[in-house]
Structure 1
């Protein structure tokens, strides 16, 4: 599992604006057949990256709690459709369709815990690779590569909707590049169609979803508002994490809306109506700063399980400054207790911390418990309306 998280630690969003809508010819070229189960990273009922138990121990001020198992629900009434972030180390600008430890590890950490509340669907797609990032930063045009990646996601969605969904409520979950594709999918194929009525929420994390300053809707999405209260359905939870004392710097890739008049939307999953709140975090215990300091999780010794559950170790609050919008993360450090006063999540190149990426690698773990609870409240609200 350590290898899986090391692969996950390399995930990143491409340094690009969102690509233009795919041309029909490009979208149809070499289309993936999503009727083949091998083209899905996660499907319900399989022993795949999302179908295994997750051994988890509480990380408490006194040390570690007992190890428990998070397991998939037997027959949950809702679905989760997930698109993973940029993790592929495949050569070239687009990945192949053979998922490696990078994709599997990412799904295990970001999606598998949601299997306790939803059936998990995660297509393999020809994503823009890690190797494309420096080439894009050097000026190479990778729009066609994004077109291919988005076309795969859209085709997988259409297959899921026709063959797997059966009219069930669903949640969209994406991080980084996954958020780019799902934001486009929501704008083009969902928010103006009949499926919108079944959408519990879209968890669009780790990349900018634009809204006009001071508004809950508009910008990236014309009809789908930001979530602002518990149990609200058909809405978006989105944020990009930065340390509270290190907000997005000028020109940063993360934490900013590209267009003037817009801001990067931020919804605190632990306080949908706003304000600061302690976060319910799930950490992979092998996590480190990947170039920064090693994390000693507790003075009580080594973690007794691969995953750690920490309530209130950190707090989050949405902040805005013009085009910048971010979830400000504060570590509630207490030198007198056993818990770590350091958290992973920064992006490093060698030993150099990349301030413009913020805490990108921790976006999902920081508030995973809060995200799951928000989905549970949305599920309950929609099912009550259906009775």
Structure 2
């Protein structure tokens, strides 16, 4: 009996090892099998111009009140426990348009449904993302964050035409929401564009197609295109705005993608290098934009002591507190943001020490201060 038991244990160990090897060798293929829809693509009817008048199509907008996830405030943690977040100095009135990252993981559809309340899990995750990623912008007088028929996660893991069509359909919703946002805020109000991952991808295109060369371009404080590569050579010229070179600069673009060390970004760099940028050219090995969120400048290095507060979430990611001095930041020659040894942030670190989900929470307090500083710089220029 004991020998049989040992045989069973040995067999289980072999299975685990074999599974680990398979996952290591074929993780990309297995992920695609699990995430890419096999259903037929359903054409998304474009929204009418008036559709975003419906408050139900916004996670955040004026009038929502205490249920607005972007208005959530964390507390600071120190040796005395949790302390309220210090009040920031008042900034000039400004409005934020924030586009949330992918929260729809279902392979039943290429685009997330919005009717009948949408997909419950996608809606729950989107609100959590907004609490952690849109809240650094809550010094704004107005924050607008639309619901949109986002492309499912699997759309980004395939070369199939359906994936591109799903992403295009999602962008159409974001564009319509942005147009309504502009029509709703006071004329002349300075604006901040911010988004993460899929949201950042849509904002890249929005800058090129809806902002560049338009009157609203003069009102752009900054565009925070975080967690999605921005090619210095093939994206920025098409977007029509320079990279932010200094913390007191307005009318510019900010971007970073976070990796702990040792970093293994091969999957990200391969996708970046082979995917056409805004000018239609694949960037190859040309560098991506890396703004150091601890200095507000292009490139460079800053110690952990410069970090005003990392939002460290509970594992559910529904709550968290700010911890100063947790991680440093260094832009490398490829345009990746390196944050030193892996910090304990939770269960959602991606392979290769990719801290994609935590791009904004890692630098929550510095991002909030950066926005205020750039709004004040814009106002000084306007006067």
Q: What band does the TM-score fall into relative to the shorter chain?
A: 0.7 to 0.9
Tell me if structure 2 keeps the 8 A contact 1:70–1:113: no
Structure 1 partner of 2:286:
262
Which of 372, 376, 380 pairs up with 2:376? 380
Alpha-carbon distance in structure 2 between the residues aligned to 1:267 and 1:45: 33
2:281 aligned with 1:249, yes or no? Answer: no
Which of 54, 58, 61 pairs up with 1:40? 58
Structure 2 partner of 1:68:
84
TM-score, normalised to structure 1, is 0.74
Alpha-carbon distance in structure 2 between the residues aligned to 1:342 and 1:284: 10
RMSD of aligned C-alpha atoms? Answer: 3.2
Alpha-carbon distance in structure 1 between the residues aligned to 2:153 and 2:96: 25
Deviation at 1:282, TM superposition (A): 3.3
TM-score, normalised to structure 2, is 0.74
| Secondary structure in structure 1 of the residue aligned to 2:291 | coil
Deviation at 1:276, TM superposition (A): 1.4
Structure 2 partner of 1:326:
336
Alpha-carbon distance in structure 2 between the residues aligned to 1:118 and 1:316: 30
Alpha-carbon distance in structure 1 between the residues aligned to 2:142 and 2:328: 29
Which of 164, 167, 186 pairs up with 1:143? 164
Post-superposition Cα deviations, 1:11-57, rounded to whole Å, max 9, x if no partner, equal xxx99xxxxxxxxxx88634470111111110023223336542413
Tell me if structure 2 keeps the 8 A contact 1:254–1:358: no
2:300 aligned with 1:275, yes or no? Answer: yes
- Higher helix fraction (1 or 2): 2
Q: Say if 1:285 and 1:199 are closer, same or farther in 2 by CA, change over 3 A.
A: same
Deviation at 1:251, TM superposition (A): 6.2
Structure 2 partner of 1:86:
102
Structure 1 partner of 2:344:
343
More RCO (CA 8 Å, sep 6+): 1
Deviation at 1:171, TM superposition (A): 0.6
Tell me if structure 1 keeps the 8 A contact 2:260–2:338: yes
Alpha-carbon distance in structure 2 between the residues aligned to 1:308 and 1:68: 10
Which of 298, 317, 320 pairs up with 1:307? 320
Structure 2 partner of 1:230:
247
Aligned length: 323
Q: Say if 1:89 and 1:27 are closer, same or farther in 2 by CA, change over 3 A.
A: closer
Could you list the runs of 5+ residues in structure 1 that have no partner in the other structure?
1-13, 16-25, 291-304, 332-340
Which of 352, 355, 358 pairs up with 1:359? 355
Could you list the runs of 5+ residues in structure 2 that have no partner in the other structure?
1-30, 33-42, 276-282
Deviation at 1:92, TM superposition (A): 0.9
Query: Which shows bigger deviation, 243-252 or 117-126?
Result: 243-252
Deviation at 1:155, TM superposition (A): 0.6
Structure having the higher Rg: 2
| Secondary structure in structure 1 of the residue aligned to 2:374 | helix
Q: Residues 53-202 of structure 1 correspond to what in structure 2 (within 5 A)?
A: 53-58=72-77, 60=78, 63-68=79-84, 77-89=93-105, 91-97=108-114, 98=117, 100-133=123-156, 136-137=157-158, 139=160, 141-202=162-223
| Secondary structure in structure 2 of the residue aligned to 1:381 | helix
Q: Residues 208-219 of structure 1 correspond to what in structure 2 (within 5 A)?
A: 208-212=229-233, 219=236
